[in-house]
Amino acid sequence: MTPLQFWFEFASTYSYPAAMRVEDACRDAGVTLEWRCFLLGPVFAGLGMAQSPFLLNPVKGAYMWQDMARICAAQGLVFRKPSVFPRGSLIAARVVIAHPSEPWTGAFVRATYRANFAEDRDIGAPETIAALLEELDLAPAPILAAAQTSQAKAKLRAQTEDARALGVFGAPTAMVGSEPFWGNDRLDMAIASARGTV
């Protein structure tokens, strides 16, 4: 069985419904999940886009919010359009890159997405991330310190380069071996592929 790498970015809208279910879905399927945080900004820049496609194409952007509301409702998720989009994702990404497989990594990922897309909290502010860690009964100071080392910063840059090298052009992307599955809409197919049932 092949592990499923879940490539995600905290500012990414459709990563929210996918991130909220990927850990349970992989566990139910007996598939190993690997969290792979990266930054969309450099990936979009490498593709010639100065910002999110949803801002470059406002018609598509307006549709996306409408669609997000439907998708989250269908998945039983609270959704509130963030008052700022895209939100800064750097600190949260560095927390994950410095702690990619802790027992609490999945819970932190979900808490951060919930903060951004259900609670309209500013996940770009260190105080918000500290509060989210506290809500998970974790001590924020050492975790945030580890996230701000030059090693963590370099690792996030390198992993974002890895995303580009793998052909990742958007988030979320599930990689099963060398095969990409882009979007919340392909998560189930990716899990089936990782199980070897496709």
Residues contributing to the site for a second copy (CB under 8 A): 47-48, 57, 59-60, 62-63, 66-67, 70, 74, 167, 169-170, 179-180, 182, 185-186, 189, 198
- Of the pair 22, 92, the CB lying nearest a second copy is at 22
- Of the pair 8, 108, the CB lying nearest a second copy is at 8
CB of 190 to a second copy, least distance (A): 10
Strand partners, 35: 6
- Of the pair 133, 168, the CB lying nearest a second copy is at 168
- Give the max Cα distance, the chain: 44
Q: How far apart are CA 89 and CA 130, in angstroms?
A: 14
CB of 93 to a second copy, least distance (A): 21
Mark residue 139 as left, alpha or beta (left: phi above 0; alpha: psi -120 to 50; beta: remaining).
Answer: beta
CB burial of residue 137 (10 Å; 0-12, 13-18, 19+): exposed
CB of 60 to a second copy, least distance (A): 5
- Of the pair 60, 80, the CB lying nearest a second copy is at 60
**Which one-letter DSSP state was computed for residue 144?**
H
CB of 47 to a second copy, least distance (A): 6
Element (H, E) at 34: strand 33-37
